[in-house]
Amino acid sequence: EAQVTQNPRYLITVTGKKLTVTCSQNMNHEYMSWYRQDPGLGLRQIYYSMNVEVTDKGDVPEGYKVSRKEKRNFPLILESPSPNQTSLYFCASSFREGLRSPLHFGNGTRLTVT
């Protein structure tokens, strides 16, 4: 089944403890991206990747890192999480960059930083 898989679904951590949220897609998509969703603010893009070893900042990249060493994986790294990074995170992929093909989203990771 074609899908985007995020792990974990739920994560509670403490301020400053490094964490990684994994994202994997099995559709051979070139484009992958991360979003955070907050009440009243909708979905905001954190980082995106047009292909392997190519990443770029989205609208709200501060406090996050990503890497794209393989086509299928695009992990989101929080080196030193803070409470304002408590949010619902979504990974997405698409065949081509930007809006030229539909985005396929994972089911989300709800992160709480205390």
Q: Which is nearer to another protein, 56 or 70 (CB)?
A: 56
Cis (ω within 30 of 0) for the bond into 8?
Answer: yes
Rounded to a whole number of angstroms, the minimum distance from the CB of residue 83 to another protein is: 23
Non-local (6+) Cβ contacts of 112 within 8 A are 11, 12, 13, 86
- Interaction between residue 100 and another protein (CB under 8 A): yes
Contact call for residue 107 and another protein (CB under 8 A): yes
Q: What H or E segment, with its residue span, contains residue 32?
A: strand 31-38
Query: Binding to another protein by residue 50, rule CB under 8 A?
Result: yes
Q: Let me know: does 95 contact 85? Beta carbons within 8 Å.
A: no
- Using CB under 8 A as the binding rule, whether residue 30 contacts another protein is answered as no
**Footprint of another protein on this chain (CB under 8 A)?**
4, 33, 35, 40-45, 48, 50, 56, 58-59, 90, 92, 97-100, 102-108
